[in-house]
Structure 1
Amino acid sequence: MSFSVYTRGAGAAAGADANPIKVMIVDDSVVIRGLFSRWIDEDPELEVVATYRNGQLAVDNLERVAPDVVVLDIEMPVMDGLTALPLMLQKLPHTTIVMASTLTKRNASVSLKALSLGATDYVAKPETNSNVSGNDEFREELLAKLKGLGRIPKRRAEKRRSLGMRPMRAETSAGQQSASASSAAARFDPRAALQRAKQRAETEAPAYRTRGYGSVVPKILCIGSSTGGPQALLRMLGDAKGQLARVPTVITQHMPRTFTTILAEHLQKAIGRPAKEAEDGELLRNGTIYVAPGGLHLRVLSKNGVAVAELGEDEPINFCRPSVEPMFETVADVYGAAALAVMLTGMGADGAAGVEKLGAAGASIIAQDELSSVVWGMPGAAARTGMCSEILSLDQIGPKCARLLEGALR
């Protein structure tokens, strides 16, 4: 058979969520399909509903299976993952898709392209099946992402309902549309509904304490990001690129080796500014974007009165390496109130302690808001510190950074 449908065993069902996250696995390796299925079905919050050996089978059966999250391999016969991705999103636009690929330069580039086409995240598989099966770290990463991302469409639907925003309904026929047009127009004003939703969001959203912007023109821009980060970085840096020549930009994006190399290349091409992985001991120059290499923490130190990058392979922080914490904390030490920090979309709470230290030093700090974030873990944790200057949507962050960098202090 081309796919398998699994039922949960008694051990997995005990204490399970009444509505476990439904997972579809698409991979041409029978070993990987079996291994992922066993891992997932051992977790009471997850349930494998189908597996397929190529993208065409997954596309054909997507609506019938209706998964919450899809693990999609890149290299497969008949139809590869990159081809299947937009077809799947066309059928079920709110499906969460996690790309799975081995750590090669080509696959890293393809994975980033997949994110631009609508994939939510990726996992980097070890190079051989034997390395996958015995890799507890990879297993934990996969399961954490499936659980963290699998309920996003449901949570967003609940959020939209709480704001009074109704889902769109497809028209059944041109005749029905014509017959009901006048009565529908009388019942529904889209602009008024959107305005009511915005007003309700402003009044019902949790109030997070903010502290205003610092009194010093920023001399460095530092950014933390994770899930959803690559696309968010492209957007915000693209919006701010006219002023990026004034300062060095340092970025910690949760990514493995090779992926950060490709990310830097993509940023340089898209934004038109020099972008590279940071090198140990190098001087941080105005106008250059420095990305923390995968597997290494990036810190900023002062040596002989100039800021330099320091890379370290010390223990993970918040289960992350690179971690946002050491970058934010050392930027606070070196730049103090002359730092501008941004926390973008991402799972977990990495960087929150660094936000507190930056805030105590008088730095300006922006967190991405919940509605524009893929996952509001890291920016939400930053917001809850009470140290953020402002909480903004993604389309507001880049222009705001540009104004701050050119000297507008509010």
Structure 2
Amino acid sequence: MGTIKMRIAIVNDTLIAAEALRRVLVTVPEYDIAWIAGNGAQAVEKCARDTPDLILMDLIMPVMDGVEATRQIMQKSPCAILVVTSSVTANAGRVFEAMGYGAFDAINTPILGASGNSQTGGSELLRTISKVARSIAKNNHNSRSPTAGPKSRNSPLLAIGSSTGGPQALVTLLSALPVNLSVPVAIVQHIDAEFAPGLAQWLSQKTPFSVSVAIAGRPLEPGKVVIAATNDHLVLQSNLTLKYTKEPLDYPYRPSVDSFFYSVAQYWPGKGVAVLLTGMGKDGAKGLKVLRAMGWHTIAQDRHSSVVYGMPKAAAELDAAVQILSLEAIGSACLKHLL
């Protein structure tokens, strides 16, 4: 599959950073620079007049920062937004706020070399842009559904899939659950492996739960909340422990909600509740449908409360969700069918 053509905008108040981004982009003939803005307010105005395929959004800027600009753009003229900041780690709180408003991912700003070439971080930026391009492309890869094995009565499970806008949606959902919840909770959020530990820590600070990254070889435990933590797919094994797998290799969403839902349908020895939250694309919809067919209570977030109505829309179109609910109503619905 060749490089997907994209019109990309740059939002950065630092000239040398904007130039570093420009020099990375011009190395790919399929990437056209739509416009450049020096702060978030300019970006909101320019985006309303000329919405690009992707915005490379700085976080710390005068007049209007990248978090507020992301919020306004996703409300008024939505498009894919990639946060590009001097240090993702140092700005983790703001990064996850921006992702809560709809930013796709975050990456460190490339640095111009002494010769004027922006080599440090440039290739990583291009890989991330390619990932964004594949995710927003119209042609989504299909995954095969596994054949479900026999089931017996056992503890229920809460399985959650989310993508664009997911971090803040996860805060709202988890905050609506009691801290003494006695069922396992597993989350698959589309996020690069580098930022998964930070997201787990951020969710632990924002919700009543201590959220940890899912570790291969460990079982899902009652009362524990885990989140997928690599660029491979998190799946459940026949012995009820977790593992990460590269397959399917060609699936654009990593980690894949579908892959996790399929494995749960195949191996989890009880039933439970599966939730598909806000996100771009269609990942998770087919897996949700498989779980519904097996008697799980399945929920998709509604259009109004979704930052991006992609994944839950796909679920609604497949009739994969027993309920389509506002974000604020999902927590209580989960409890009703878990306890």
TM-score by length of 2: 0.75
Q: RMSD of aligned C-alpha atoms?
A: 3.6
Alignment correspondent of 1:251: 187
Amino acid at match of 2:271: A
Query: What SS does the aligned partner of 1:293 have?
Result: coil
Q: Is the 8 A contact 1:89 1:95 kept in 2?
A: no
Pair 1:272–1:31, CA change in 2 (3 A): same
Alignment correspondent of 2:215: 279
- Unaligned regions of 5+ residues in structure 1, if any? 1-15, 149-215
Once residues 109 and 27 of structure 1 are traced to their aligned partners in structure 2, the CA distance between those partners, rounded to angstroms, is 20
Deviation readout 1:8-35 (Å, 9 max, x if unpaired): xxxxxxxx9xxx9884532632121344
Once residues 144 and 93 of structure 1 are traced to their aligned partners in structure 2, the CA distance between those partners, rounded to angstroms, is 23
Q: Is the 8 A contact 2:21 2:110 kept in 1?
A: no
Query: What SS does the aligned partner of 1:366 have?
Result: strand
Pair 1:82–1:276, CA change in 2 (3 A): farther
Query: What SS does the aligned partner of 2:307 have?
Result: coil
Matches within 5 A, 1:2-401: 23-26=9-12, 28=14, 29=17, 30-36=19-25, 42=31, 48=34, 50-52=35-37, 54-55=38-39, 59=41, 63=45, 66-67=48-49, 68=51, 70-74=55-59, 79=61, 83=65, 85-86=67-68, 94=76, 96=78, 98-101=82-85, 104-115=88-99, 118=101, 120-125=103-108, 129-130=118-119, 131-133=121-123, 137-143=127-133, 219-239=156-176, 241-242=177-178, 245-303=181-239, 307-316=240-249, 318-335=251-268, 338-401=271-334
Query: What SS does the aligned partner of 1:298 have?
Result: strand
Once residues 107 and 25 of structure 2 are traced to their aligned partners in structure 1, the CA distance between those partners, rounded to angstroms, is 14
Amino acid at match of 2:260: M
Pair 1:389–1:217, CA change in 2 (3 A): farther
Q: Is the 8 A contact 1:249 1:287 kept in 2?
A: yes
Once residues 43 and 219 of structure 2 are traced to their aligned partners in structure 1, the CA distance between those partners, rounded to angstroms, is 53
Pair 1:277–1:22, CA change in 2 (3 A): closer
Q: Is the 8 A contact 1:369 1:392 kept in 2?
A: yes
Once residues 91 and 102 of structure 1 are traced to their aligned partners in structure 2, the CA distance between those partners, rounded to angstroms, is 22
Deviation readout 1:190-239 (Å, 9 max, x if unpaired): xxxxxxxxxxxxxxxxxxxxxxxxxx896100011100111111111111
Pair 1:83–1:103, CA change in 2 (3 A): closer
More deviation in 129-138 or 106-115?
Answer: 129-138
Alignment correspondent of 1:402: 335
Once residues 91 and 319 of structure 1 are traced to their aligned partners in structure 2, the CA distance between those partners, rounded to angstroms, is 25
Once residues 300 and 343 of structure 1 are traced to their aligned partners in structure 2, the CA distance between those partners, rounded to angstroms, is 18
Q: Which has the larger radius of gyration?
A: 1
Deviation readout 1:328-367 (Å, 9 max, x if unpaired): 0111122366121000111111122312321222211111
- Unaligned regions of 5+ residues in structure 2, if any? 112-117, 139-152
Q: Aligned pairs, how many?
A: 306
Deviation, structure 1 residue 90 = 7.5
Query: What SS does the aligned partner of 2:288 have?
Result: helix
Query: What SS does the aligned partner of 2:205 have?
Result: helix
Once residues 360 and 81 of structure 1 are traced to their aligned partners in structure 2, the CA distance between those partners, rounded to angstroms, is 51
Pair 1:108–1:334, CA change in 2 (3 A): same
Once residues 353 and 393 of structure 1 are traced to their aligned partners in structure 2, the CA distance between those partners, rounded to angstroms, is 21
Amino acid at match of 2:12: V
Pair 1:136–1:100, CA change in 2 (3 A): closer
Once residues 81 and 72 of structure 1 are traced to their aligned partners in structure 2, the CA distance between those partners, rounded to angstroms, is 14
Once residues 352 and 89 of structure 1 are traced to their aligned partners in structure 2, the CA distance between those partners, rounded to angstroms, is 26
Once residues 60 and 135 of structure 1 are traced to their aligned partners in structure 2, the CA distance between those partners, rounded to angstroms, is 23
Once residues 261 and 82 of structure 1 are traced to their aligned partners in structure 2, the CA distance between those partners, rounded to angstroms, is 28
Q: Is the 8 A contact 1:82 1:114 kept in 2?
A: no
Once residues 73 and 162 of structure 2 are traced to their aligned partners in structure 1, the CA distance between those partners, rounded to angstroms, is 29
Once residues 273 and 254 of structure 1 are traced to their aligned partners in structure 2, the CA distance between those partners, rounded to angstroms, is 20
Deviation, structure 1 residue 144 = 5.7
Once residues 319 and 145 of structure 1 are traced to their aligned partners in structure 2, the CA distance between those partners, rounded to angstroms, is 6
